[in-house]
Amino acid sequence: MPIVAANWKMNPASADEALDLVRGVLSVARGQSDRVEVVIMPPFPWLLPVSEVLAESGVKLGAQDCFWETSGAFTGEVSPAMLKGWCQWVIVGHSERRLYLAETDEMVAKKAAAALSSELGVIMCVGELLDHYAAGVSDQTVSAQVRAGLANLSADDSARLVSAYEPVWAIGSGRNADPEHAYKTMRLIRRTVGELIGAGAARKVRVLYGGSVNAANVESYVELPLCDGCLVGGASLKAEEFSKIVKVTAEVYGHR
């Protein structure tokens, strides 16, 4: 089943706005839950109130990050064990955390392993900077990130592991990757996963596209043979826009 995940990032500013947004999405997402796995990923403060709205809706809840230890003297961090009570998914390695918070491949690998050990599904983000893209080394960059991120994982983790390809130069820029480039990179991701944890496991791992996804361009990605859905940023903050993305994804996969 495809996944459409809404990464709200550090938005919206209030709980009331968060609840209005999730209620706006639910009217469509609830009706597509048998064809698309919809995941809402709000900031930490809104996880609990949003979880109450999502209860028994079929729509999943996810966190935008986690730490790799279960507990301890790690001020400001949140462990997978704390999230598992109401979340089903967590993002690790998002490009903004790599860029602004100096998150390394090693840290991403530890977070992924810890989250999977706590029975959370993991959306592991990989992607190249504009400099890498311009220099023609996108493949080497993405492959290295995948290899590092899977360092502590095995084939047993594959059913709960998702890799999201997000070209960093496209995020928030209004630019989006050419579908052919996205296809080649997602094919590389799946091949790299296969080399590390086996071809059978690679078929279970879902691969998403993320990078200025919106209702107007989503079809060009989800119709690609190796694309299993999208990680949506800015467009997920508009209930009508995000609902259209969910509907388009359901329709495309319904004809596969």
Alpha-carbon gap, residue 117 to 28, rounded angstroms: 32
Q: What is the DSSP string of 187-233?
A: HHHHHHHHHHH-HHHHHHSEEEE-SS--TTTHHHHHTSTT--EEEES
C-beta neighbour count of 213 within 10 angstroms: 29
Alpha-carbon gap, residue 98 to 108, rounded angstroms: 9
Q: List active site positions.
A: 94, 166
Task: Of 204, 106, 197, 125, give the one whose Cα is nearest residue 160.
Answer: 204
